[in-house]
Chains A and B, each alone.
Chain A
Amino acid sequence: MLAAKALTALGLLAVGLSAAPVVQAANHTVALVSLDDDARYQSRRLERRYPGHPAGRLLPAAQLGASDAEVGLRAAGHSIKVIEATASSAADLGKVLQQLKTDRVAYWVLDLPEAQFAQAVQAAGSSALLFNASAGADALRGSQCAAMLFHSYPSQAMFSDALAQYLAARSWRNALVLQGPEAADQLQGQAWQRAAKRYGIKTVDTKAFKLSGDPRERDLSNTRLLTNDRNHDVVAVMDADGEFARTLPYATQQPRPVVGANGLVALAWHTQWERNGGPQVNRRFARLAQRPMVGQDWAAWVAVKSIAALVSDHSKAALPEQARLLRSGQVFVDGAKGPRLSYRAWDGQLRQPLFLSHVDGVAGTAPLDGVLHPIEVMDTLGVDEKESPCKAKP
């Protein structure tokens, strides 16, 4: 049954290719794939509003992407519809993805925990293009990369490079690193070490922290004891969760800025970005979602806009060909962050500027002025072509 359907799909595709003038499926469906029980979206969790974390489900952002693209697409007879494909839990995800395949939904925007990506990639095969709108894990762009998988959300390496560039530009070159115990904290720490080395930020000491009220562990939990070392310019906190990092600014022993998971944070988007059309995007989004736009929303919005740019010019191409076109760097999307954006050939990552932000606004944008790259300065953020372990090609 499934095989038969797949064959039908292939047959249709072949027909579409041979009869070139016929525009294929003018109405394009984009599925927003998510889990109902995703821990990131538990209501108490969302209330915390930790910097860099999602602030709500991504549906309004994806819908805004479709409505922003509507007018540009209509002249050529195209339109984009966003549907929700929400699995009740990870166990239910397979069924939901299978249904998308059955319905021949060609574009999936993934708002999934990192652990579920492999399943989505496998389910999609070459019958859907996938856009990661909320997972920063470097492994998804590295060892777990896939030919049909694109990332509109920045990688952890990109965030770390942005921060390191900013510190280097300020000549704040000595960092005291406070390292969290969780696996996700360790990954943040690794990305930071890589970036610090690239931009010459010295780690004067790395101290483990622990969320604890136990007086016997106060050397791990007391912000003043953790930061009483004198010889550092900044305190870099590696805390994927955000609870400890929130207690740190203005609570250090020395008067030093906090960077990383709180204080100065590298973000994909900021609600106070006031250039390049930012206020307009923020207002449109806030009207729709009744909350400010954050990085994950931005990534879902720009993913749908990327799909619009693709179908606008290349709707007749088969999906693997569309993936190749996206990776050719010749399909551009306007992300309201200044330059036009395109996807990297080697790992499908959207190259983009990042904001160095504090709670109230944007202190700087990366790439920082003066940072150089032989080809494309945005590729100074994250894993460049020669370093990329990704071998998957569409």
Chain B
Amino acid sequence: MQPTRTPIARGLTACTLAVALAWSWAGQALAQSVYVSSEKDNKVLVFDAAGKLQSKIDVCKRPRHMMFSKDQTKIYVCCGDSNQLGVVDRASGKMVDTVPLGDSPELFDLSPDGKVAYVSIEDDSVLAAYDLSTKKQLFEVKTGGEPEGVMLSRDGKFAYVTSEEANVVHLIDLSSKKIVKDIKVGNRPRRFAASPDGSEIWVSNELSANVSVIDAKTHTVKGTVAFDIKGMRASDITPVGVLMTRDGKTAWVSLGKANHVAEVDVATRKVRRTVLAGKRAWGLALSQDEKQLYVTNGLSDDMTLVDTQAGKAIRTVAVGRVPHTPLVSP
């Protein structure tokens, strides 16, 4: 009995160990993953924190913007060509569900409870709200042409939406489902970042080479952040991506055609320094410790890893065809 038992017991232990190891590896991999949507591959690529490719996840057609679900077990990915919101299960690394969306969805934000997705629908010029459990459209609000950036106010009562054609930020009351204000900003406004204290909203103006700073109380533009790179003309600087650090002191702005990202001092609205990235730097994400910035470069099909303390690009890694959004796991 004994001799036969032992191997089985050992086998079991080994099995358990392997499972446990796999779990912890998976856990580690999850804890350090950088997900990147690749528009023309119809995939989400998974990298480790250092930029080493771990796996590829097949998703819907032309994946662009991504966000984690509230419980962070899933990734929502907005697919512009198949008009879907793909739902990726992080543990299994598979797309497990889709929610049908309107024609050519671009960016989105989630309600504070995580149950509703607010999506800019480019071709219909609307902001559309979708219930993620019933997969039904709740309502839509007409916007100016080519709506793009979507950001909810912290209380979830209002949505800010940029219209690239109309050069405004719409302030949309989500209970009355109406635009309550058009805030005129620069040319071709793209994306948002909110200051952590909720006092300011930053909007990148792609064709004005600047960022408009909106006062979140009065909803008026109270300042601009201008970008200027030695040896480049204003027309070569096309800001798109924007985000802020948790302390609200620093903003990072990707400068598109200028192939740089800018580190901005939020208080003075001055550029501290710029860092060279790849061609058409758009997407931005910070690592959890904020020591590393991930920049997706849509025209050189790669991602630049920037050391935020040294202000230097440390590595650039290949990322499929037309990388859109980097998303760092919590």
Residues of A within 8 A of B (CB): 67-72, 74-76, 277, 280, 283-284, 332, 334, 338-340, 376-378
Contacts and interface: CB of A to CB of B under 8 A. Distances in A.
21 contacts: A69-B166, A70-B144, A71-B170, A72-B144, A72-B165, A72-B166, A72-B182, A74-B182, A75-B181, A75-B182, A277-B164, A280-B123, A280-B145, A284-B123, A284-B145, A332-B187, A332-B207, A334-B167, A334-B207, A339-B235, A377-B235
Contacts of B143: 71
A74 B170 CA distance: 12
Interface string B97-129: 000000010000000000000000011000000
Nearest to B170: A71
Contacts of A68: 144-145, 165-166
Contact of A75 (B164, B168, B235): B168
A172 to B, nearest CB: 25
A72 B168 contact: yes
A296 B50 CA distance: 50
B211 to A, nearest CB: 16
B146 interface: yes
B90 interface: no
B64 interface: no
Contact of B187 (A67, A75, A340): A340
A71 B144 contact: yes
The DSSP consensus for interface residues of chain B is: loop
Nearest to A287: B123
Contacts of A340: 187-188, 207-208, 235
Nearest to A73: B166
Contacts of B187: 332, 334, 340
Interface of B: 104, 122-123, 143-146, 163-168, 170, 181-182, 184, 187-188, 207-208, 233, 235, 257
B163 A72 contact: yes
A341 to B, nearest CB: 9
Contacts of B166: 68-72
B207 A72 contact: no
B235 A283 contact: no
A71 B163 CA distance: 9
Given A70-B144, A71-B168, 8 more contacts: A71-B144, A71-B165, A74-B182, A283-B104, A283-B123, A334-B187, A340-B187, A340-B207
Contacts of A284: 123, 145
Contacts of B146: 277, 280
A332 B167 CA distance: 11
Contacts of B181: 75
A70 B143 CA distance: 10
Contacts of B168: 71-72, 75
A303 to B, nearest CB: 15
A167 to B, nearest CB: 24
A75 B184 contact: yes
- Residue in A67, A75, A76, A283 whose Cβ sees the most chain B Cβ within 10 Å: A75
B188 A334 contact: yes
Nearest to B207: A340
